[in-house]
Structure 1
Amino acid sequence: MIIDLPATTTSKVNSKLVHVREQGGATTLGRVLTLVIVTDDGERTEEAIEAANEASREHPCRVIVVARGAKRAAARLDAQIRVGGDAGASEVIVLRLYGALADEGASCVIPLLLPDAPVVAWWPFEAPAKPAEDPIGRLAQRRITDSATDRNPIKALEVRQRYYADGDTDLAWTRLTLWRAVLAASLDLPPYEKVTSAAVTGEGDSPSTDLLAGWLAAALRVPVKRVKATDGEGIISVVLERKSGSIELTRPDGRVGMLTQPNQPARRVALQRRQVRDCLAEELRRLDPDEIYEDTLKGLSKITRARASARTRPDPDRAADVAGQAPKPTAARAARVSKAQNATAKSTAKSAAKPTAKPAETKSAEAKPAKAAPRRATTTRAKSGSKAAR
């Protein structure tokens, strides 16, 4: 059910919530927190609300959406209340602020917060440089941003590093959970050797690739190279160098990864790119500061950057083989197949044109040296006899 309240106030929104609750017969609420979504009023607002509704099935909460409208318009508050099937396992309050109210989101949110419940602030798109000092950020115990949705993801990540505060986190970091789990598990297997260096290859503007390199630099305390790939999306591969050989985790197709280690069979692992709703639900499981994320941000200054060479670029044929599919008939593959066929044809023609010795000729060639030997012996005896007669 969706209830529109145009040109209203926060007190009227609260009264309407109580009326809807009494009318529906709900006597108790199982809300565990208040999730405040801060965004600009537009089409992408519904994407954030949908992700919050899915996450609320694991974390029942009250969702307050602060959608900032045009600042040149007259000061006005348009509200919308969503309950039931339109709100997942939560109740959604959408506040569209116009004019001077566009910068007063915190004042409009405070009357609608659940009493004695933690507050989480989420900027699904562009976020302030200092989330902890933002008016809404001051109300929250946890502040969630997403560097991947920024106009310049790498620069946004550098800003997060510079102004980090306890309670900050980023969905670009949450997307690494599966990668971190697989890499940590691979080091728990024999021969238990120390990693000497590491290399992380990924898309040039992928903040998750940078964070994965920073995490390895902070956790392993070894030289880590962040390689900028020319093809592929997101994280493509991770290589951990050890004395007995390297550990390689590759995901060329963005879906299935391949883990290879010395003296062990190659294993396929699930490394599907995670959706926003899954990352948001994971971040809502904890409300304390994330020390590992803080150390990872510090590790960003320890990595070195390079560009991918031809050897590190993903092979499309190998990617299709990992995914269990037939290789795509690309132009590069067709050229390689044609070149191989031409080389095979030339080799076959050259072998056919080469003359083969007949058996009789071979036998005659082998017999000639045998006949020449007695002749030389006779000549030697004749010379000796002539010398003796003299």
Structure 2
Amino acid sequence: MEAALIVDLPNTSTAAVSKKLVALRSDTGAMALSRVLTLVVVVDEAEAEDAIEVANDASRQHPCRIIVVVGSNRRGAARLDGQIRVGGDAGASEVVVLRLYGRLASHGRAVVTPLLLADSPIVAWWPAEAPKDPSTDPIGEMAQRRITDAARTQGPPKTVLKRLAKSYAPGDTDLAWSRITLWRGLLTAALDQPPFEPVTEALVVAAPDSPSGELLAGWLASRLRCPVSLARSKSGSGIISVRLERKSGTVDLVRPEDGSTSMLRQVGQPDRTLALPHRSDAECLADELRRLDPDEVYEDALTKGFPTLTSARRTASEAVKAGAAPSPAEAERTTQRLRRAARVAGSSAMVEKRPMPEDGADTETVKAAAAAKLAEVKERRS
């Protein structure tokens, strides 16, 4: 990959940074004409480079100007160190890194404002610790969308989500919500198939340190309007399973720990394996940059569904033993069995009857037949 052009501007001003951006635009061509928004990233020094990498990856789908406000040492004289990155690992964007020192560290909005793209939406993102009320934060106030990450915010997930629910304002969202997009899609698709019966109860098995598990349960409560409870898996395991109870039987969606494939089981349907990979932060951020209007489904999950959840009073193993939750071990065995069956079926379908070489056919003819079969297998697999 082509190396990024990096220009350091130590002990500078926003006017000097803006002037340098204009000069770089003149030197490199119309690099900023396709920018569709300004992404303001508020982060500490320790997380700055990781956040820039994630923002760069997301910007390949949504070209933007990325302004990274790094809160550095608040002691000493006020100073602004700037850095501009274009091309290479800057993705489809131009990255402006602003390191604020001394009293200037408390005036991020004033520093950012002159560098915003004119007449374009503003999105604020806190990759780690977020303000208690994002919509009243000085930078959050000027943004159409405000993205937090409850999984990276200090405190128990339930406490963090309660705070976010209390301070919710249209435009707020969270990467913990984006991480369950695939879960929501698979569950919705399962309920779109017969029998079309109401769900009477639901259980989500997730780790106690997973705000995504809480939000998934909140979404089910707000959408299905039925009692939803949680069971605790071990910390770090994320979301393990969802069980939906209906009159005719259960709908189970299970992703064994550390897996990227899930098993879906429902009455009247054969067991199926479905792709359910863990989503990267860049994928989740790109999703949130895709829409700039308020996310009313997230609002309902956070402010209406989440408060109604029954506390996780039992562990995942206790729920499985009681028959209230599907067994991840059994789901793993079923997934492996279905994979083996699919491979066997695929091999049988690929091995078609072909005219065999007549007795005495030369070796090249046999080789050609084998090569044709191999090419056909590769084509079907692709």
TM over 0.5: yes
1:1-390 correspondence runs (5 A): 1-26=5-30, 29-42=33-46, 44-152=47-155, 153-230=157-234, 233-254=237-258, 255-297=260-302, 298-305=304-311, 306-308=313-315, 309-312=317-320, 317-318=329-330, 320-321=332-333, 324=336
Structure 2 unpaired stretches of 5+: 338-382
| C-alpha distance 122-234 of structure 1, shift in aligned 2 (>3 A) | same
| C-alpha distance 303-19 of structure 1, shift in aligned 2 (>3 A) | same
Q: Distance in 1 between matches of 2:143 and 2:294?
A: 12
| C-alpha distance 79-322 of structure 1, shift in aligned 2 (>3 A) | farther
Q: Distance in 2 between matches of 1:29 and 1:185?
A: 40
Letter paired with 1:62: R
Runs of 4+ with >6 A deviation = none
The root-mean-square deviation of aligned C-alpha atoms, in Å, is 1.7
Contact 1:202–1:232 (CA under 8 A) maintained in structure 2: no
What do residues 191-239 of structure 1 show as CA deviations (whole Å, max 9, x unaligned)?
1111111111100111010011111111111111111224761111100
Query: How many Å apart are 1:263 and its aligned residue?
Result: 2.0
Q: Distance in 1 between matches of 2:158 and 2:207?
A: 11
Contact 1:229–1:307 (CA under 8 A) maintained in structure 2: no
Segment drifting more, 273-282 vs 225-234: 225-234
Q: Distance in 2 between matches of 1:261 and 1:27?
A: 52
- What percent of counterpart residues are identical? 57
Query: How many Å apart are 1:319 and its aligned residue?
Result: 5.5
Letter paired with 1:120: V
| C-alpha distance 247-256 of structure 1, shift in aligned 2 (>3 A) | same
Structure 1 unpaired stretches of 5+: 326-390
| C-alpha distance 13-66 of structure 1, shift in aligned 2 (>3 A) | same
Letter paired with 2:215: L
| C-alpha distance 323-90 of structure 1, shift in aligned 2 (>3 A) | farther
Q: Distance in 2 between matches of 1:36 and 1:323?
A: 43
Segment drifting more, 27-36 vs 99-108: 27-36
Look up the SS of the partner of 1:300 in the other structure: helix
| C-alpha distance 27-300 of structure 1, shift in aligned 2 (>3 A) | closer
Segment drifting more, 274-283 vs 220-229: 220-229
What do residues 69-105 of structure 1 show as CA deviations (whole Å, max 9, x unaligned)?
0111321100000001131100000000011011110
Task: Count how many residue pairs are aligned between Structure 1 and Structure 2.
Answer: 324
Look up the SS of the partner of 2:183 in the other structure: helix
